[in-house]
A and B are shown apart, each in its own frame.
Chain A
């Protein structure tokens, strides 16, 4: 570290690595253990929604959770804001 770090404007490559890993590991953990059909389900739901609304692929979240002994499939779609003409 030392003096050199004071003059460095861009973040260190190690902190970039850490940030990228933090995100990808969290994402991969969130789907771990969930059934294999979830990614496909997500894609097909996205296609259906896409027929009516132009949504960002990132805006569809599917989560499978446990709640009081039964599984809950949670689907969340963030619709785009209406663009004013």
Chain B
């Protein structure tokens, strides 16, 4: 059984691609066969975060238009054998992505025996975002504890509940999860930032992961190594917990409180 998971948010810059890359790595690291697909046509970025930008020969739209086979376009990850990336096209043609074309590519990935297909949605609520979520079985809604991100997430939840195949067919709808990123426990404690419980209460959804704000995330994208692969990082552990929860494990949330820091760390930062 293949499960299609969309990583979406509405608002841009909240960590969709970072999350797609890390969750894909996390699932693949546990032996699952994973394809992660960039739906952000015209603004390809997943390849950079995954560190395979120089190996992109063919892309998603090439496959849809029959310029190449899916096999030719899938980029095999060099670190994890069971992980594959399908890059977005850089075309400016907005109509390059069609529902029928997306369905065909997903069907081929399913026939190929992938366990998980991760759809990295573009920001906004336009066609790319719509197609990224349309065939999904589950959705990971990435949200920052910040007003515009929370409101946009609620818009996305509305679309997931109405503009997806599962919603239209009425077979239980898309299973939705929240994933908080850029969480700063210190600012939550001082009342400057909404807490996990606040966001959970407003949106009325279960939280599958809380990723603390961390300099490791930028370092990871600089290097093209998804942050989950940095074993030293709290962000990595938080993503790995989220992956375990996606797979059905019941784990307590970590990193909701500020880590105790030594005297020197407090003075010099870090």
Contacts and interface: CB of A to CB of B under 8 A. Distances in A.
Contacts of B155: 28
Interface residues of B, number: 20
B158 A13 contact: no
Given A18-B198, A25-B202, A28-B155, A1 B147 contact: no
Q: How large is the interface on A (under 10, 10 to 19, 20 to 34, 35 or more residues)?
A: 10 to 19
Contact of A14 (B151, B162, B193, B201): B193
Contact of A32 (B146, B150, B158, B201): B158
A40 interface: no
A61 B194 CA distance: 31
Given A20-B147, A33-B162, A15 B191 contact: yes
A1 B198 contact: no
A14 B147 contact: no
Interface in A8-54: 8, 12-15, 17-18, 20-22, 24-25, 28-29, 32-33
B203 A25 contact: yes
A14 B191 contact: yes
Contacts of A12: 190-192
24 contacts: A1-B189, A4-B190, A5-B191, A8-B191, A12-B190, A12-B191, A12-B192, A14-B188, A14-B191, A14-B194, A14-B195, A17-B147, A17-B198, A18-B194, A18-B201, A21-B147, A22-B201, A22-B202, A25-B154, A25-B202, A28-B151, A28-B155, A29-B154, A29-B158
Interface of A: 1, 4-5, 8, 12-15, 17-18, 20-22, 24-25, 28-29, 32-33
Interface of B: 146-147, 150-151, 154-155, 158, 162, 188-195, 198, 201-203
